[in-house]
Amino acid sequence: MPSNNPDFNSVFEKQKAKSLELRSSKASERISKIKAIKSWVEKNQSGIAEALYKDFRKSETEVKISEIMPVISEARFIIKNLKAWMAPKSVSVPLLFLGTSNKLLAQPKGNALIISPWNYPLLLALKPLMAAISAGCTAIIKPSELTPNTSDLLHRMIEELFPEDEVCVFTGGAEMAIALQKLPFNHVFFTGSPTVGKLVMKAASEHLASVTLELGGKSPCVVDSGVNLKAAAKKIAFGKFLNAGQTCIAPDYILVKEDLKEPFIQTLKEAFENLSGTDYRNNSDFCRIINEKHFERIDDLIDKSVQEGASIVYGSKREQSDCFIPPTILTDINLNMPLMEEEIFGPVLPVLTYENFDEAINLINQGEKPLAIYMFGGSSATKKALEQKTSSGPIVHNDFGIQFIYHGVPFGGINNSGIGVSGGYEGFLEFSHLKPVIKNHFNPSSIFYPPYTPKVKKL
Ligand code: NAD
C-alpha cells in the first residue's frame, strides 16, 4: 500500500524541486538520457523476453517486433529530431503589432505521472517516458500489476539509469494509481481502458492537471468490393494473432460486403492456418490471454453470443487451465450480442455484413468513436465516405497496425478512444507547454491609450 511506502511523497517532492532545474536543460542532456534507455533495452533483450514470457507466454520474436523494436525506433526518432523540436518557433507578426517580435517556447510541463497497461507493458511505459524526458519533465511510472515480471524489470531498469528525483517506478494496482493521483502532478499520461480513463481524468481535475488518455474500444475492419482477399485476410489474421488479439488497435469486428462474406471467411481461415498451422495451442509464437479473469470474460462473450444465435464458424477448443483461446470466427451476429457490446481484446472476430456502404457507416457511427478503422478494398467513393463520415483515430487502408509506428503521424483516439496523442513531435508537445514570449521593440505606447484622440473615437 502506498501509505506504507516511506518514499512515496518524498520522491514527488524531490521531483518537484528537480523539475525547476530541468526547465532549462539542453537538448544534448535530454538526448543522452534517451540514449541510455535505448542502449539498456538493446543490451537487455533476453531479460525483457524472459519477463514477458513469464507474464503471458509472449514469444521472443513478438517481444522483439512489438516491444523492443518500437522503443528503439522511437528513441532514434527523438534523438534525431529533439533539437529541432525544442527550438523556439515564431508566428508572423500581425499588421497591428508591427514593431514586435514573438517566440513560442516549448517548456516542460513539469512533473508527469505515467500509468501504463499490461498488454505491451514495456513499450507503453517507455514510449511516454521518452516523450516526458524529451520535453524535460520528471516522471513517476505506475506500470500494470498484471505483468509483475515486466514491471519488476522496468523498476530495475529505471533504478539503474535514473536518480529518483528524475524518474521513479512505483508498482502496485489500482490503489497505487489512485494514491499517486492525489499528488499535484502537472500532466498525467494514461494508457488503458475507457472506464479507468474516466476515473483518471476525474482525479486529474482536482489539480487541473492536463491529461493524455490513450484508450481502447471497438475498432472496425471494413472489407469492401475490389478487395484483394488473400492479402486482406493475412493482415487481419495477423492483427488477431499478435499478442493473441490483446492489442488496442486490433481489428475488433469485421464489416464485410454481403457477397464477399463466404469467400472472405474461407480465406481468413486459411490465413490463420498459414500463420500458425492448426495446432495453435502448441505454437510457441502464439501467446496466452493475460489471466483467468480475462479468459473468463472472453469465453463468456463467445458463449453468451452463441446462446443468442451467433455461430462459431472457426475455432478449436478453449482451455481455461492454460488461458488459451484460439483464433475464433463468428457469424450471425447482431449489435445487441455481448461480443458487440464491449472491446473483445482477444483473438475473436465477429463478422457482420452490409449490402450498401451507408449501412456500414451507420453501424460504425452507432458505437463509440473507434481508436482505429481499417478498410480493405473499396472504390474511391466508399473510401472517401468512410474518411469523411466517421470519426475515429487513424484510418488505415490495406494494412493493420502501421499507424502506431508511423513516425510523423500522431497516434491517438478521440473521446471514448482517447484524448491527446503520443509519438514523435506531438508526443513531445503533450508533455510541453508552448509559452508565448512577445517583445515590443518600440517604447511609445499604442495609439489606443487615453486620452482618446478624435481619430480613435471615430473608429
Ligand atoms: P486498465 O484500464 O484496466 O489498467 C490500466 C492501468 O490503470 C493499470 O496500470 C492499472 O493498475 C491502472 N488503474 C486501475 N484502476 C485505476 C484507477 N482507478 N485510477 C488510476 N489508474 C488505475 O487497462 P488494461 O487492462 O491494463 O489495458 C487494456 C486496455 O487498455 C484496453 O482497453 C486497451 O484498448 C487499452 N489500451 C490502449 C492503448 C492505446 O495506445 N490507446 C494501448 C494499449 C492498451
* Straight-line distance from the first to the last Cα atom of the chain, in angstroms, rounded to the nearest whole number: 66
Task: Indicate the CATH number of 220-406 among 1.10.490.20, 3.40.309.10, 3.60.150.10, 3.40.50.1820.
Answer: 3.40.309.10
> All 3 cell numbers of residue 294?
480475462
Q: What is the mean pLDDT of residues 430-457?
A: 89
Same fold, 8-215+423-435 and 220-406: no
Catalytic entry in 62, 214, 343, 368: 214
Would you list the domain boundaries of the chain? 8-215+423-435, 220-406
Protein residue whose Cα sits closest to atom 30 of ligand 1: 192
Class at the top of the CATH hierarchy for domain 8-215+423-435 = alpha beta
Calculate the alpha carbon distances from 336 to 37, 193, 196, 369 in Å.
46, 21, 24, 18
Distance set, CA 131 to CA 79, 117, 190, 323, 426 (Å): 11, 17, 13, 34, 9
pLDDT at position 5? 57
Residue type, 45: Q
Q: Any catalytic annotation for residue 137?
A: no
- Any catalytic annotation for residue 248? yes
Q: What is the pLDDT of residue 111?
A: 98
- pLDDT > 90 in the chain, percent: 93
Average pLDDT of the segment spanning 254-273: 98
Which amino acid, residue 428? F
List, for residues 373-428, the tens digit of each pLDDT value: 999 999 999 999 999 999 999 999 999 999 999 999 999 999 999 999 999 999 99
How much is the pLDDT for 278?
86
Nearest CA owner, ligand 1 atom 16 = 174
Handedness of CA 263, 267, 269, 270 (dihedral sign): positive
- In ligand 1, which atom is closest to the CA atom of 116? 9
HSE-CB at 341 with a 13 A cutoff on CA atoms is: 10
| Average pLDDT of the segment spanning 329-338 | 97
Using pLDDT thresholds of 50, 70 and 90, give the confidence band for residue 8: confident
Beta-bridge partners for 319 = 324
What pLDDT is recorded for position 91? 97
Return the pLDDT at 277.
86
Ligand 1 closest atom vs CA 404: 40
The arithmetic mean of pLDDT across residues 361-371, rounded, is 98
Q: What is the mean pLDDT of the segment spanning 344-357?
A: 98
The closest-lying atom of ligand 1 relative to the alpha carbon of residue 173 is: 11
Has residue 3 got a pLDDT over 50?
no
What pLDDT, on the 0 to 100 scale, is given for residue 350? Answer: 98
Separation between Cα atoms, residue 83 and residue 271, nearest integer Å: 45
Segment holding 7, helix H or strand E: helix 7-22
Confidence of residue 34 (pLDDT cuts 50, 70, 90): very high
If you write DSSP's letter for every residue of 151-211 in order, what string do you get? HHHHHHHHHHHS-TTTEEE---SHHHHHHHTTS--SEEEEES-HHHHHHHHHHHHTTT-EE
252 pLDDT higher than 80: yes
Calpha distance 144→121 (Å, rounded): 7
- With 0.90 as the threshold, say if the pTM is over it: yes
CA of 217 to the centre of ligand 1 (A): 12
Using the mean position of ligand 1's atoms as its centre, give its distance from the Cα of residue 193 in Å.
5
The mean pLDDT of the chain is: 96
Nearest protein CA to atom 9 of ligand 1, as residue? 144
**Cell numbers for 436:** 508565448
For ligand 1, the distance from its centroid to the CA atom of residue 331, given in whole angstroms, is 29
Q: What is the ipTM of this complex?
A: 0.98
83 has pLDDT over 90: yes
Q: Is residue 122 pLDDT above 80, yes or no?
A: yes
Which ligand 1 atom is the nearest neighbour of the CA of 413? 41
Calculate how far, in angstroms, residue 194's C-alpha sits from the geometric centre of ligand 1.
8
How large is the average pLDDT for residues 8-34? 97
Beta strands in 206-270 (DSSP E): 210-214, 220-223, 253-257
